[in-house]
């Protein structure tokens, strides 16, 4: 029986799972104080991580957990709702720190020590759930003690963000050209020309704005 979780509101356009996680809220507006790189929310932010079930749904759609694991996590969350709420709070805090770290990359700003500390804290937790194992063509890290761990998706998110920061091509990280969007993505286009998170959304909004501005100028 399929899980009764709404996953249709989640979009995976970032090219990296940590960037996709960053993009689970709309309404970030750039703060004029460019030294901090911090953003504030507008009056009506669209938060997609409203409860722990949303975190499970996003993780399942993103391939971090399967449906069987999702069911077990829902059951565990029902047993200990306070722990599930604490994980959700950690997830949102981690998301915003990752966002500001990558935004500092895009803008060329110095990253905040507090944001690095939050990512390091989650990364240290993730490391405690890894072991080195032999593979067919070498060695790999495997996740251990995942069974029923309410925060297991945070391990993979923090690992993904760290790997991108250290090993990724940071010159390809972009912020959506819509100034009221601020979603982040990896520009994998050959000529590095991608401007929008989703052309059908923000790209079309920009087209309409240009058209209206042109009409107004011609009046």
Break the chain into its structural domains and give their ranges: 17-171
Q: What is the pLDDT of residue 50?
A: 94
Q: What is the pLDDT of residue 43?
A: 47
Measured in degrees and rounded to the nearest 5, phi and psi for residue 188 equal -100, 10
Q: What one-character DSSP code corresponds to residue 111?
A: P
Q: What is the pLDDT of residue 215?
A: 55
Q: What is the pLDDT of residue 179?
A: 75
Q: What is the pLDDT of residue 198?
A: 86
Predicted TM-score (pTM) of this structure: 0.87
Taking only the tens place, the pLDDT of each residue in 147-180 is: 999 999 999 999 999 999 999 999 999 999 887 7
Q: What is the pLDDT of residue 193?
A: 87
Q: What would be the CATH architecture of the domain defined by 17-171?
A: Orthogonal Bundle (1.10)
Containing 133, the helix (H) or strand (E) segment is strand 130-135
Q: What is the pLDDT of residue 1?
A: 41
Would you say 103 and 175 are in contact if contact means Cβ atoms under 8 Å apart? Answer: yes
Cα gap 186→194, rounded to integer Å:
9
Q: What are the residue ranges in the chain where pLDDT is below 70? A: 1-4, 29-45, 203-219
């Amino acid at each position: 029986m399929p899980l009764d979780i709404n996953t249709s509101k989640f979009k995976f356009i970032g090219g990296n799972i940590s960037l996709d996680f960053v993009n689970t809220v709309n309404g970030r507006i750039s703060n004029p104080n460019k030294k901090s790189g911090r953003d504030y929310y507008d009056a009506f932010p669209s938060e997609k991580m409203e409860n722990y079930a949303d975190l499970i749904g996003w993780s399942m759609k993103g391939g971090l957990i399967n449906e069987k694991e999702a069911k077990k996590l829902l059951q565990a969350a029902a047993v200990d709702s306070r722990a599930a709420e604490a994980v959700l709070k950690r997830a949102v805090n981690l998301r915003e720190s990752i966002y500001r770290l990558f935004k500092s990359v895009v803008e060329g700003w110095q990253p905040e020590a507090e944001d690095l500390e939050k990512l390091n804290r989650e990364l240290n937790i993730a490391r405690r759930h890894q072991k080195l194992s032999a593979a067919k063509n070498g060695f790999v890290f495997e996740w251990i003690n995942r069974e029923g761990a309410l925060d297991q998706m945070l391990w993979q998110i923090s690992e993904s963000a760290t790997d991108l920061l250290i090993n990724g091509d940071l010159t390809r990280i972009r912020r959506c050209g819509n100034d009221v969007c601020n979603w982040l993505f990896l520009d994998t286009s050959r000529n590095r020309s991608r401007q929008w998170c989703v052309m059908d959304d923000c790209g079309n909004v920009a087209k309409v704005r240009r058209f209206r501005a042109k009409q107004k100028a011609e009046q």
